[in-house]
Amino acid sequence: MLSRKLMGALLTAAFLSAVVTEAVAFDESKYPDWSGQWRVVGGNRWDPAKPQRRGQNPPLTPEYQAIFEASMADQDAGGQGNDFRFRCLPAGMPRVMTAIFPMEFVILPKLTYIIFESAMPRRIYTDGRDFSHWPKPGTEPSFVGYSIGKWIDEDGDGRYDVLEVETRHMKGPRAMDQSGIPVHENNSTIVKERLYRDKEKPELFHDDVTTIDDAFTHPWTVKKTFRREADDRDWYDNVCEEGNNYVAIGKDVYFLSGDGDLMPAKKDQEPPNLKYFKHSAPQK
């Protein structure tokens, strides 16, 4: 029988061998250089080529167009409408790809990460799996969903140019942008992307995004473009909850004043139900 020390040494050697083998198999020269920080061009709109709000002309069904109109009406009155970011909920897919704060790519042999300065990261599996077996039964949906990607060498030069990604298995609530363009409540959204660096202008990066959702009358495709930030820019601690003065009580949104008192967010807004509190005279 092998001694415990010898068995431990053999297991350690096997583990190190597997790590070295994987490292050797990962030929960095086959993968594109997407290093650095990337920030969206065109501001906080889903389709940067179109104006905000109704100018986006989203292909919504009548039911979800009505939800969109109600969202904008509520925002015009001082509310937040269908935009859930005021509660610091994650932006989710595909909205998270409107990177108004920088993002970066970390490319590994079987996995590519997109790390955001102000959001939870995305994991894109590139190990050959497909949606016939993944995600595994019982896997909980997430705001950013489950992403599977495939590297493509489009020009045949031996180096990958494009990462094609499909994302499913999302949860809500989510919206496409700050105006509250809705996605369907069934959360059956499918997002298909083509990620690639501009060959003529390497300071630019592109994401061709097609969103398939039951709230839409047809798939919605937009081109997101990102610009590389200066190399000396630091990463910042961007925490949504810090300094967030919005207070959500049920379906109503209020505002916390500078002196810590609850204020209405809309004109003539009714106060929240205080039935669980002892009523006292207003302070003078």
- pLDDT tens-digit profile of 162-195? 999 999 999 999 999 999 999 999 999 999 999 9
State how far Cα 113 lies from the chain centre: 12
Mind listing the pLDDT tens digit for each residue in 113-163? Answer: 999 998 889 999 999 999 999 999 999 999 999 999 999 999 999 999 999
Tell me, what amino acid is at 260?
G
Token pair of 121 as six digits? 């990261």
Token pair of 214 as six digits? 């039951």
Asked whether residue 99 carries a pLDDT value surpassing 80, the answer given is yes
CA distance 128 to 148: 8
Answer yes or no: pTM beyond 0.95.
Answer: no
Considering the chain, what is the average pLDDT of its residues?
Answer: 89
Asked whether residue 237 carries a pLDDT value surpassing 60, the answer given is yes
Question: Hey, where are the domains in the chain?
Answer: 38-228, 245-284
> What pLDDT is stored for residue 16 in this prediction?
56
Token pair of 141 as six digits? 């949906």
How do strand 252-256 and strand 246-249 relate by DSSP bridges?
antiparallel
7 pLDDT band, cuts 50/70/90, is low
CA distance 130 to 66: 36
Asked whether residue 240 carries a pLDDT value surpassing 90, the answer given is no
CA distance 227 to 38: 5
Report the range of poorest mean pLDDT among 8-12, 42-46, 76-80.
Answer: 8-12
Helix, strand, or coil (residue 25):
helix
* 109 preceded by a cis bond (ω within 30 of 0): no
What are the φ and ψ backbone dihedral angles of 118, each rounded to 5 degrees? -130, 20
CA distance 126 to 78: 44
What are the φ and ψ backbone dihedral angles of 247, each rounded to 5 degrees? -125, 120
Report the range of poorest mean pLDDT among 7-21, 87-101, 173-187.
Answer: 7-21
